[in-house]
Amino acid sequence: MNALREAGPRLVVLLVCSPLIGAAIVAALGRGRPETARQAALANSLLTVLLSGLVAVAFAMVAESPSDTSAAFSALVPWFAVEHPTAGDGSRLALVCVLSFGVDALNLGPLTWVPWLACGALALMSSQEATGTRSRASGTQGGVSTAELIVWLLVECGLLAVFAAQDAVTFVFAGMMTLGLIGLSLGWWGGGDRRATAGRFLRGQFAAQLLWWLGLVGMAVAAAWSRQELLARIPPVDFRWITLSRGLPQVVYQSMAGFQYWSAASPLLFAVLLTGAALRTPWAPFHHGMQTWLNAVPTTFALLLIGAWPLVAGYGWLRFIAPAFGDDLAALGGGLTWWTALSAILCSRLCWTATEPRQFATAWCLSLQSLGWLGLVDGSPAGLTAGWLMLQAAGWSAAGWLLLGERADDAGPQRRPRAAFAAMLCLLPLVAIPVVGGGPESASPVEVLLLHHLWPTGLAIVAWFVTGWAAMRRIAHLAFGTSAKGAGGDLTLRDGLWLLPLGVCLIVVVVHPALWWGQP
């Protein structure tokens, strides 16, 4: 056991590099032998799952509690260090970047979830039935090519690197690589109009990535300058998350120069980072983009795109942004919660009107993401916890919906009840997550949100209800084979009139008592 604990940092590096090694092996063995390539990729994917389990066990041995973010093991490799003079007083400003991977309570979930998702998708990619679903998506016939497997493994590697990154540079660089690979896979193996869709995906997501890069660099420089007064010299610009999200909020209140510097710089940086998050998630009004991408991408890549990619924005927000911009969040929290609540409403409408299984899975993901972001932009510990859990749950449940939807069409009537039961499991996050995150002595996230932002939370509850109702209709369709109208169709005026008083009733019945209970 001690050996496992001591091997923790190396295990993390191995976990990230495992798909990369797999890609190299597939490239070496798979030329002209697609069956061998497929087997090698599957074996590598299983090995990655095993490694993720070992990492989780090793972390559990180190951490005192499951939410212990101070307990972490990470591997740091000096990557880039340079010293250059500044324009101020002639002193020198050093720049230090490390290539770092690690695990803590924040990223343990995605690091164990992504290999499972990847392995499942790869198994789907390898199966005979998948050929049918893939053909529907891409419009092509035939098995999976070696190139597709290689790109797939590289995407998995990139996603693991994003989540395991312990510094902003690794986070941004890994995100860029993953983004490019997903765009290429979309353009090469996607469905109709895949080239234009790939272009749109890359343009939007790359813009978000650049904005985040700019904001993170600004944060790192601000952290260095803010510590100047305390240290009597300019410390190196450090991109590690612990400096940005923990050191920066502390240091700006310990020196007058740091406070004034941060007061001047933080609004601009927060605006940049917020725009990047809205583009990347994506929030309304950018949410139509995700439907377009997911409609064009092959099923297997869609599983990763819907299950893991939207998590990156929330993870980056939690890791780097939310701790450092507490004041800005407090100032703008009202507006941001309105934004996310409206986004949830729009996405729940998409959920209601979706007719295709893939459309529904996308709308489901977007709606739950918006509900999760409501907690993230609130900034309270309960909200952040619940928001992060909601985002993760949205990922796996949307991937589940996608998989079920794609396969239920191929299944016979006798398998439909089982599919319906599996779909019921996908409803769990909608039911359970809003009350998760509050301890026995603390308020639940819903209570906190209602106290902080009454009307946006009420709006979100309406969205929550619409999304759940749409999901129930789809489950009923799966179980009993009801008409297509029951599984989708346009939202009529009568439906809307029916929903409106229901939402008001919900607010009156749920919101007011909760507000009353929450009074000290």
Partner 1 sequence: MTVCLLTWLPLAVGLAGLLWPRHWQQSTVWTVAWCGLCFVAALTGVLAGFVESTSIALGLDDFARRALPVAGLWAAAFGWVMLRGDDEGRSAAVGRGGAILGGLTLAATSTDLIGLSFALEMVRIGTTVSRREERGMLDRLLFLGLCVGAAGCQGVTGSLDLATMRDVLAGVYTPAEPLVPVGRPALVLVGSVALWMIAAVTPIGIRAVSAVLDERGEPLEQQLAALTARQLVALLALSRWMAVGLPGLEAAVTTLLVMLSLIAGGCAVWLMDDRQRLDRLLSGFALWQCAGHLLWLTAAIKATDAMWLPVGWSHDLLVLAAMAAIAVSWVGRSSSLAYLDELRGLGALRPVSAALLLIPLVSLLGGPLVAGGWLRLTMMSQIFSLHVPGPDDLLFPRLDVRYALLLWSVVWIVSARAAVEIGRVVLLETPLRIDAWSRGWWAMVVAVLTATAVIAAGCCPYLLTLLIER
Q: Amino acid identity of 235?
A: P
Residue 244 DSSP one-character state: I
Q: Which of residues 81 and 505 has its CB atom nearest to partner 1 in the complex?
A: 81
What is d(CA 335, CA 322) in angstroms, rounded to the nearest whole number? 16
Pick the closest to residue 329 from 283, 412, 273, 402 (CA basis).
273
CB of 435 to partner 1, least distance (A): 40
Q: Which of residues 84 and 494 has its CB atom nearest to partner 1 in the complex?
A: 84
What is d(CA 312, CA 85) in angstroms, rounded to the nearest whole number? 35
21 forms part of the interface with partner 1 (CB under 8 A): no
What is d(CA 224, CA 86) in angstroms, rounded to the nearest whole number? 12
- What is the secondary structure of 293-331 as a DSSP string? HHHHS-HHHHHHHHHTHHHHHHHHIIIIITTTTHHHHHH
Q: Which of residues 156 and 447 has its CB atom nearest to partner 1 in the complex?
A: 156
Choices 19-27, 55-63, 213-221, 240-248; region in contact with partner 1 by CB under 8 A:
213-221
Pick the closest to residue 121 from 306, 359, 299 (CA basis).
299
Chain positions 163 to 202 lying near partner 1, rule: CB under 8 A, are: 169, 172-174, 176-177, 180, 183-184, 187-188, 194-195, 198-199, 202
Q: Which residues contact 56 (CB under 8 A, 6 or more apart)?
A: 108, 111, 112
What is d(CA 18, CA 46) in angstroms, rounded to the nearest whole number? 10
Q: Which of residues 264 and 504 has its CB atom nearest to partner 1 in the complex?
A: 264
Convert residues 319-358 into a mask of x (bound to partner 1 by CB under 8 A) and - (unbound): ----------------------------------------
Establish how many alpha carbons lie within 13 A of residue 153's alpha carbon, considering only the half-sphere containing its beta carbon.
30
Choices 24-32, 64-72, 133-141, 209-217; region in contact with partner 1 by CB under 8 A:
209-217
Cβ 422 vs Cβ 397: under 8 Å: no
Q: Which segments of 453-510 does DSSP mark as H helices, in order?
A: 454-480, 493-506
CB of 200 to partner 1, least distance (A): 9
Residue 82 DSSP one-character state: E
What is d(CA 179, CA 298) in angstroms, rounded to the nearest whole number? 16
CB of 256 to partner 1, least distance (A): 7
237 forms part of the interface with partner 1 (CB under 8 A): yes
220 forms part of the interface with partner 1 (CB under 8 A): yes
Q: Amino acid identity of 9?
A: P
81 forms part of the interface with partner 1 (CB under 8 A): yes
Chain positions 384 to 413 lying near partner 1, rule: CB under 8 A, are: none
Choices 222-230, 287-295, 345-353, 386-394; region in contact with partner 1 by CB under 8 A:
222-230
Distance (Å) of CA 309 to CA 245, 262, 423: 22, 31, 22
260 forms part of the interface with partner 1 (CB under 8 A): yes
| Residue selected from 31, 33, 70, 85 as contacting partner 1 according to rule CB under 8 A | 85
What is d(CA 322, CA 328) in angstroms, rounded to the nearest whole number? 9
Paired tokens of 467: 């999304």
| Residue selected from 75, 222, 297, 463 as contacting partner 1 according to rule CB under 8 A | 222
What is d(CA 233, CA 94) in angstroms, rounded to the nearest whole number? 11
Paired tokens of 158: 């990139």
Q: Which of residues 113 and 163 has its CB atom nearest to partner 1 in the complex?
A: 163
CB of 235 to partner 1, least distance (A): 12
3-state SS, residue 492:
coil
Convert residues 124-163 into a mask of x (bound to partner 1 by CB under 8 A) and - (unbound): ----------------------------------------
Q: Which of residues 17 and 207 has its CB atom nearest to partner 1 in the complex?
A: 207
Distance (Å) of CA 180 to CA 184, 198, 297, 472, 490: 6, 10, 14, 37, 35
Please count the residues of this chain forming the interface with partner 1, following the rule CB under 8 A.
52
90 forms part of the interface with partner 1 (CB under 8 A): yes
| Residue selected from 162, 221, 389, 507 as contacting partner 1 according to rule CB under 8 A | 221
Convert residues 430-449 into a mask of x (bound to partner 1 by CB under 8 A) and - (unbound): --------------------
CB of 206 to partner 1, least distance (A): 5
| Interaction site with partner 1 (CB under 8 A) | 79-82, 84-88, 90, 93, 95, 97, 169, 172-174, 176-177, 180, 183-184, 187-188, 194-195, 198-199, 202-203, 206-207, 210-211, 213-214, 217-218, 220-222, 225, 228, 237, 256-257, 260-261, 264-265, 268, 272
